[in-house]
Structure 1
Amino acid sequence: MLAALLYAGATSGARPAVALPPPVVDMAAAGSSPPATATAVFAGGCFWGVQAVFQHTQGVLNAVSGYAGGSKETASYPQVSSGKTGHAEAVSITYDPTVVSYGQLLQIFFSVAHDPTEIDRQGPDYGPQYRSAIFYSTPDEQRVAQQYIAQLDATQLLPLKIATTLAPLSNFYPAEDEHQDYATRNPHSIYIATYDRPKITQLQTLLPDRFREAPVLVAGQVSR
């Protein structure tokens, strides 16, 4: 499979998306019955754009911006922005496994939501709080993510090796209300127009079967 680079949005500052193959190994085993809902936690730079991508993904029931990797005491935007808390800006994605699988979410994460080859940065944002990370809750999630990273590195479709780290999820702390649904509420902000709206277009273009036009919004459902 050849890499398909989308340059529509590259001039605006967004990384060109890369058409990556789905994972060979995915969560559901033959004959198993998936749970009614499941949750994945990914970090890929500023949570505004990552949240927006998964809010436009079929099968996603909720996508909440927040913090993972640090303690409750430091889970606030001013503290996390210091880069000294251990937290990454992350998104907790609740999804219906009968509609979209964990592996398909990973495909979107690596193809569209961010650049997995960058270390402690995404676009104009620098620091460990913007690192690429997968926070797994089960051994199966860890296994699928590890094998998918190895699969993608072997394809050499990306210009560099994947820098995404894997860590067990200890806790996820929802971000402040002003960071929820940010891309939808601020479509004309320069940051969103430059770095995040192109990702939604790329999702629709690269993975049209996974795209939903109307985003599923948090809409005040989060309590801190």
Structure 2
Amino acid sequence: MAAKPKLYYFCGRGRMEAIRWLLAAAGVEFEEEFIETREQFEKIQKAGHLLFGQVPLVEIDGMMLTQTRAILGYLAAKYNLYGKDLKERARIDMYTDGTSDLMLMILATPFSSPTNKEGSYATIVQKAKTRYFPAFEKVLKDHGEDFLVGNAFSWADVQLFEAILMVEELDAGVLSGFPQLKAFKARVGNMPNIKKFLQPGSQRKPPADDHYVKVVRDVLQF
């Protein structure tokens, strides 16, 4: 039996959470090693595993992969969540880049000045409602299919679902004007692997708290 993928990151969402989601959606079990000290980080770095001196790091198929986009692309292709041809892959890339832009704004905010956080989250919700969610609402409405690309579940659907949940943590009613996205969320949320990852006790991580922010700052020294 092949070894489980091993994820090296902090015990929090960050850039690794999309990777956790994609593995969970594919039904793949994975192990995690949480980085909690500068010494741990430097040990991994000195071993030559961090090509550009940063995490996420994923050990899989005899490789030590870094760079979030490269890891996600490999996993999507490996587990048949990356479309059936180049045109579908291009659309998946386009959609995942869009949701990544939205999610990274949320992930970065806990590291900003405390006085700016509330305003930053309000701005993010506004951008979700006026820029990102209308685009995906239109995609789903125009083609009338269950999923974003080729009427088949893909990486793009996993990441859109994750993005929706993240924005709903900031504004529970954010989907009130988006019936297609509401239906999409219900549809994806009922898929067995997704439903399992949503259960308490899964490897899904909570939003960043002060302890997580402190650990990351201490380890990365910024």
Q: Which has the larger share of strand? A: 1
Q: Which has the larger radius of gyration?
A: 2
Would you say same fold, with TM above 0.5?
no
Normalising by structure 2, we get a TM-score of 0.27
Normalising by structure 1, we get a TM-score of 0.27
Q: Which has the larger share of helix? A: 2
